[in-house]
Amino acid sequence: PGEGKTTVAANLAGLLAANGSKTLLVDGDLRKPGLSRSLGMEAEQGLMEAVVSGQTWQSVGKIDRQTKLAIVPAVPRGHFSHTSELLSSAGMRRFIDNAKETFEYIIVDLPPLGPVVDAKAFAPLADGFVLVTEWGRTPRAMVQSILSSESYIANKIVGVVLNKVDLKKLAKYGSIGGSEKFFDRYSSYYLEKSEARTKANT
């Protein structure tokens, strides 16, 4: 937890939608719906209600006016211990199949791979996984253990994000003259002017 998977999911979905692709972003973390909270969504119904009652994404989703990104939130309902069963249910399959009729991309923000089995339960419905890790924090041994024990998920990984990279330390791992040695020098180029000014004054 804390690696930034929710931010990566939201940014990826937003980028796809902004580029004109029909995209649905789903908060699939029914235990801790951080995506819905971070987007400030106040909904009475969400993914759980849609799956249980057989509703479609249209009945619980919202569409961002600017990017046209469709979003299905998750509504906290106290302690719910059977989230993995819900994510692997026939109702979830119907929900995803219905959404596929409308969208080119469906991005689902799932709980972390380590502590719970929800991602494994959802795996048969996923075309691919993007694994999000954090620089200096996500144990390499844990990642190797998870991927070796969950071959079904490992075989579906389409990419890995190394998040929150320390650009100054990154240079130590590159080859002589490698481009990574210059990332920190030019990092301010990619910041907003106010951010760059603040960084320069600290």
pLDDT in tens, 145-176: 988 988 889 999 999 999 998 877 877 776 66
pLDDT in tens, 29-76: 988 888 888 887 777 889 999 999 999 999 999 998 888 999 999 987
Q: Cα–Cα distance between 84 and 97 in angstroms, integer? A: 18
Which position has the higher pLDDT, 82 or 71?
A: 71
Q: Cα–Cα distance between 150 and 146 in angstroms, integer? A: 6
**CA 161 to chain centroid:** 11
Residue 182 has pLDDT above 80, yes or no: no
**Contact (Cβ atoms closer than 8 angstroms) between residue 109 and residue 28:** yes
pLDDT at 150: 87
All structural domains of the chain: 5-164 (3.40.50.300), 166-202 (no CATH)
CA dihedral 58, 64, 65, 70 (to 10 degrees): -40
Q: pTM of the prediction?
A: 0.82
pLDDT at 101: 96
Q: What is the mean pLDDT of the chain?
A: 85
pLDDT at 177: 61
pLDDT in tens, 103-131: 999 999 999 887 678 999 999 999 999 99
